[in-house]
Every structure is written in structure tokens, then in C-alpha cells.
């Protein structure tokens, strides 16, 4: 069972393969891109992207969109997480959080799945933790060095990250659904 994963992020592909391959689902990366809506909800971004890519490529696809929602910042950066990361990075987020004790945050990942001429379906996973006081760890990518779950950053978790992360949870939901509904 082969599905096209539309993303330019090889790290996302590695995490998705770790969940899907043991279930017999092969993911093939395609970096064709898709227009990313400027929406306040990552689910809408994933839904639109999946529909667009499926119709453009003429095959079943998945896309994944992620948002980091920091409680004290009223959910910022949310669906704009990639832009904020590219603009101010982890040092900028840490600067915004300086002198703030309430560091609760939730990472949301939404998988959009779509076949050509069909309505997209979404699968969400979330991981709640907090923003660290400093970057820590050598692994992962993006916000992983400042996102803590139970006192350990994603960047310090190694393979454990792919058992508890927001992306692991959304891909697990997707893979379970796919195997129930699309396997022959």
C-alpha cells in the first residue's frame, strides 16, 4: 500500500515512516508543494492542501500541518508556527517567554488524506507540555529543542519522541483508519 506524502520536510517523512512502515504502508515523498491557506486552524490548512495535491497529482496523498500553541500567548504561533520559526526561531520564542512562569503549550499535528475528486479527511494528534527555559538536546528539528514533555525536550528523546509526539499520534490515527478502510 503506497501513499504520496506531499512535503519538503525530510524529518516529517522519517517520523511518518517510523509509524506507517511497520503497518505495511509505504510513503513516497513528493516535494511538489501546495498553496498553504492563511487560516487560524491547522486542520483547515491540511484539509485544503490534501485536496489540492490529490487533484493536482491524480493520486491518493497525505499532507501534514503542525502548530505550536502557547497558552500564555493566546495560542501563538499556532498555524503560523513555520513562519515564526523561520523568522525568529527558538531564540525568539524563548525571548517572548522570558520572565513568564506559565509555559504550557500544545503541539497539534493534522494529517490531511485525500483521493482525487474526493473530500479530504483529517486526523489530529496533540502533545501537551511546556516551553523550556533554554534549548536542549541534539535530535529532532524545529521547535523540538524547546518543547518539553514531562521535563524532557523532544530533541532529547531520541526514538521515544516517535511514540508520544503530536505527529506520531496523528499518523497512528491515520494509519489505523487507512488499514481499516482502504486495505484490500
| Planar angle of CA 26, 27, 32, nearest 5 degrees | 155
Q: Encode burial over 96-133: b for 16+ CB neighbours within 10 A, e otherwise.
A: bbeeeeebebbbbbbbbbbbeeeebbbbbbebebbbbe
Helix (H) or strand (E) holding 5: strand 2-6
> Is 31 a known active-site residue?
no
- Tell me the C-alpha distance between 117 and 131, whole Å: 41
First to last CA, the chain: 9
d(CA 41, CA 39): 5
* Selected catalytic residue, list 31, 40, 41, 65: 65
Any idea which residues carry the catalytic annotation? 65
Amino acid at each position: 500500500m503506497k501513499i504520496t506524502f506531499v512535503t519538503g520536510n525530510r524529518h516529517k517523512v522519517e517520523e511518518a515512516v517510523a509509524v506507517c512502515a511497520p503497518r505495511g504502508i509505504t510513503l513516497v515523498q513528493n516535494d511538489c508543494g501546495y498553496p498553504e491557506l492563511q487560516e487560524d486552524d491547522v486542520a483547515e490548512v491540511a484539509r485544503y492542501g490534501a485536496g489540492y495535491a490529490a487533484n493536482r497529482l491524480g493520486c491518493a496523498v497525505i499532507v501534514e500541518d503542525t502548530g505550536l500553541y502557547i497558552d500564555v500567548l493566546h495560542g501563538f504561533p499556532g498555524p503560523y508556527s513555520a513562519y515564526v520559526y523561520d523568522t525568529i526561531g527558538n531564540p525568539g520564542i524563548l525571548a517572548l517567554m522570558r520572565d513568564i512562569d506559565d509555559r504550557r503549550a500544545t503541539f497539534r499535528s493534522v494529517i490531511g488524506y485525500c483521493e482525487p475528486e474526493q473530500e479530504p479527511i483529517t486526523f489530529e494528534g496533540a502533545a501537551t507540555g511546556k516551553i523550556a527555559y533554554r534549548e536542549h538536546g541534539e535530535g529532532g528539528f524545529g521547535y523540538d529543542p524547546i518543547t518539553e514533555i514531562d521535563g524532557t525536550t523532544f530533541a532529547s528523546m531520541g526514538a521515544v519522541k516517535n511514540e508520544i509526539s503530536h505527529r506520531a499520534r496523528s499518523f497512528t490515527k491515520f494509519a489505523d483508519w487507512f488499514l481499516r478502510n482502504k486495505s484490500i
